[in-house]
């Protein structure tokens, strides 16, 4: 079961909390690499856009190439 695997090292009180935690971790893992890519780009190129604003846009599905 994927939910159990994703939350095996976490604390939760019941199945509802486990399911919510599993969903949150799965979403995080899905976009974590993209967020590192945004941070790497801003370290390399001194752009006027703020990193947090860009992360929000990218998290909503916009490609970085379309932003830059």
Total number of domains constituting the chain: 1
Give the pLDDT of residue 38.
85
> Among 16-20, 26-30, 49-53, whose mean pLDDT is lowest?
49-53
Q: 38 and 51 in contact (C-beta within 8 Å)?
A: yes
CA max distance for the chain: 46
Tokens representing residue 12 in the block: 């939760």
Domain that holds residue 59: 2-67
pLDDT band of residue 26 (cuts 50, 70, 90) is: very high
Give the pLDDT of residue 44.
67
């Amino acid at each position: 079961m994927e939910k159990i695997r994703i939350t095996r090292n976490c604390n939760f009180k019941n199945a509802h909390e486990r399911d919510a935690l599993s969903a949150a971790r799965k979403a995080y893992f899905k976009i974590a690499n993209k967020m590192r890519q945004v941070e790497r780009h801003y370290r390399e190129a001194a752009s006027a856009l703020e990193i947090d604003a860009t992360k929000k846009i990218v998290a909503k599905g916009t490609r970085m190439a379309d932003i830059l």
